[in-house]
Amino acid sequence: MERVCLNFEIVPGTGDEFDRRHQEAWPEFLEALGRSGFTTYTLFRRGTTVIAYGECEPTVAEAFGKLSSEPVSARWGEWFTPEILPVAVFDSDGVPDRVDEVWHFEP
């Protein structure tokens, strides 16, 4: 299992709509996340800043690679085009604006 944290921005004034759309997450997209290797995925938002945290099996790169091949993933991304600002930074695995893990505690 590998953990990932991402950081991105949404368009000012679209926070309520961004939140609402996630409350109505499509079952087929959630199934695609699971098939791709995401065992958990959480979004946190403060204003226009969104922090995403996920756990992936076996790796983050493989999970994102599989998710990108799911047809529903492209439709999901297009649905959020009005809210999410384009991400300019991707790592060598194609993961957007990854935040480095510094410390982790697990009892």
Q: What is the pLDDT of residues 30-86, one digit of tens each?
A: 999 999 999 999 999 999 999 999 999 999 999 999 999 999 999 999 998 888 888
Report the predicted TM-score, pTM, of the whole model to 2 decimal places.
0.87
Retrieve residue 75's tokens.
């439709």
pLDDT recorded at residue 89: 65
Q: What is the pLDDT of residues 1-27, one digit of tens each?
A: 999 999 899 999 999 999 999 999 999
For residue 87, pLDDT beyond 90: no
What are the C-alpha distances in Å from 64 to residues 70, 71, 79, 99, 107? Answer: 10, 13, 18, 15, 28
**DSSP secondary structure, the chain, as one string:** -EEEEEEEEB-TT-HHHHHHHHHT--HHHHHHHHHHTEEEEEEEEETTEEEEEEEESS-HHHHHHHHHTSHHHHHHHHHTTTTBPPP--B-TTS-BTEEPP------
